[in-house]
Amino acid sequence: MPTSAYLLAASSVLCWVMVLFAGVLRIRTWTKAGVVIGLGNRDTLPAAGMVAGRSERAARNMLENLLIFATLLLAAWMAKVPEEKLVLPAQLFFWARLAYFPTYVAGIVYLRTAFWAVGAVGTALIAWAVLAG
């Protein structure tokens, strides 16, 4: 069974992949022009298409939620919350965020929100474990 630290690391890698994917879509790195933009200062980026825009918004949302998730896990570890109280919420966060990204990029609105909510529940459960002492 993965630990909360493992799930935090996996969530961080997922965030990194999401940010990279969004960048690749935005500048179209599979093209010569995209490679030039990618190797440059990105002073003039092309407009984000519909899918690239969704990907960027999903990645930004992951960054925002990962900050809260990681901070609460750190607080839980400092408060010596038992690992068994952290693993399930951390799993909820990770798996929900993993499902959230392709759902958001595909434009599946309500399902995307449901996945976001499951991840938020995982985060809230960690907060509860810390605050309930």
Return the structure tokens found at 122: 């995982």
3-class state of residue 106 by DSSP:
helix
DSSP string, 47-79: PP-HHHHHHHHHHHHHHHHHHHHHHHHHHHHHT
pLDDT band at 88 (very low <50, low <70, confident <90, very high): very high
Q: What are phi and psi of 51, to 5 degrees?
A: -70, -40
- Residue 92 pLDDT grade (very low, low, confident, very high; cuts 50, 70, 90): very high
The per-residue pLDDT for 73 is 98
Confidence of residue 34 (pLDDT cuts 50, 70, 90): low
Asked whether the predicted pLDDT for residue 35 surpasses 70, the reply is: no
**Mean pLDDT, the chain, as a whole number?**
91
Model confidence, pTM: 0.90
Please give the pLDDT value at position 38.
67
Sorted by where each begins, the domain ranges of the chain are: 4-131
Q: Which CATH class is domain 4-131?
A: mainly alpha
Q: How confident is the model at residue 32 (pLDDT cuts 50, 70, 90)?
A: confident
